[in-house]
Amino acid sequence: MSFCWTTLHVNNLKESLEFYQEIVGLEIGRRFEAGPEKEIAFLGEGETKVELVDDKDINSVNLGDDISLGFEVDSLSEKIKFLKNKGVEIDSGPFEPNPNIKFFFIQDPNGLKIQFVENLK
């Protein structure tokens, strides 16, 4: 068995696609209509994907405070510079809980926490 994707219902697909493409760096793999009021996009390369679902029958999305998606980066300081240039605020961190890892959080357009992680090997 393998993990395929994480599904996120979004308030605005265009805004969410821009965020996940420009800020996170994921590419659209597939995008399609899934009914008269629903559009789906899969992002990411490799085995695990992020699925964004824009369903006009759902009025609001509540993702909760206890969920985050983590993405590994080569350089945390470079990612912070990049985000500041894009006008994206750091939600919390950076943290370095041990000598092998450091990370920080931002929020996507729907309020989901996005974690950027640098593994220090």
Specify the CATH class of 67-121 in words: alpha beta
Q: Is the dihedral of CA 83, 116, 11, 67 positive or negative?
A: negative
Question: For the chain, how long is the longest CA-to-CA vector?
Answer: 51
Rounded CA gap, 104 and 27, in Å?
22
Task: Give the three-class secondary structure for 22.
Answer: helix
How far apart, in whole angstroms, are the C-alpha atoms of residue 75 and residue 120? 9
- Domain positions in the chain: 1-56, 67-121
Contact predicate 101/86, CB 8 Å:
no
In tens digits, what is the pLDDT along the chain, a chain of 121 residues? Answer: 778 889 999 989 999 999 999 999 999 999 999 988 899 999 998 878 999 999 888 877 777 777 899 999 999 999 999 999 999 999 999 999 999 999 999 999 988 999 999 998 7
Rounded to two decimals, the pTM is: 0.87
Choices 3.40.50.720, 3.30.300.30, 3.10.180.10, 1.20.120.1200: CATH for 1-56: 3.10.180.10
